[in-house]
């Protein structure tokens, strides 16, 4: 059962989807995304202040970089419970964190920013960390 009224959450979802980040709303969506070749950015979105103040804006900045993941995806903690639970299975052994930003390759985490890595930082800091991860693990994508 969703924790929040969807009309309140929609603008928070749109902060990512307008940059091409695909929402994964079911466990099947998550499994299908993890089977695709290449690298996958998986964002565990949330309503918290550090998600709105640093994570989502930082992701938006990082996605302007020429080197990006093959696909970018998101689940919404507290809203899409089934999808979030399935996504967190792919993020093990890392404990549940909202927000969290992970890069996966072959369904395995190669880098992750947990809440503790996001909280208290600005969007530029988050973007810089993501760009460094993209440069290390991803290929240039057409803009």
Residue-wise pLDDT tens for the chain (143 aa)? 778 888 999 999 999 999 999 999 999 999 999 999 999 999 999 998 889 999 999 999 999 999 999 999 999 999 999 999 999 999 999 999 999 999 999 999 999 999 999 999 999 999 999 999 999 999 877 66
**Would you state the structure tokens that stand for residue 74, as one six-digit string?**
């998101």
**Would you state the structure tokens that stand for residue 36, as one six-digit string?**
């695709």
Check: CB of residue 48 under 8 Å from CB of residue 114.
Answer: no
**Would you state the structure tokens that stand for residue 72, as one six-digit string?**
């970018």
**Is 138 among the residues known to form the active site?**
no
Active-site option among 21, 34, 50, 59: 50
Domains of the chain: 6-138 (3.40.30.10)
User: Which one, of 61, 60, 27, 23, lies nearest residue 42 by Cα?
Assistant: 23
3-state secondary structure of 52: helix
Active-site option among 48, 61, 110, 112: 48
**Is 72 among the residues known to form the active site?**
no
């Amino acid at each position: 059962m969703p924790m929040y009224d969807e009309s309140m959450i929609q603008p928070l979802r749109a902060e990512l989807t307008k940059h091409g980040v695909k929402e994964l709303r079911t466990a099947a969506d998550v499994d299908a995304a993890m089977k695709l070749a290449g690298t996958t950015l998986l964002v565990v979105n949330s309503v918290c202040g550090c998600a709105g103040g640093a994570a989502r804006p930082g992701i938006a900045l990082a996605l302007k970089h020429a080197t990006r993941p093959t696909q970018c995806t998101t689940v919404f903690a507290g809203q899409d419970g089934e999808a979030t639970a399935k996504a967190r299975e792919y993020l093990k052994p890392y404990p549940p964190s909202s927000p969290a930003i992970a890069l996966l390759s072959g369904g395995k985490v190669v880098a992750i920013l947990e809440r503790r890595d996001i909280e208290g930082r600005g969007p530029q800091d988050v973007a810089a960390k993501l760009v460094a991860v993209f440069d290390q693990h991803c290929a240039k994508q057409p803009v």
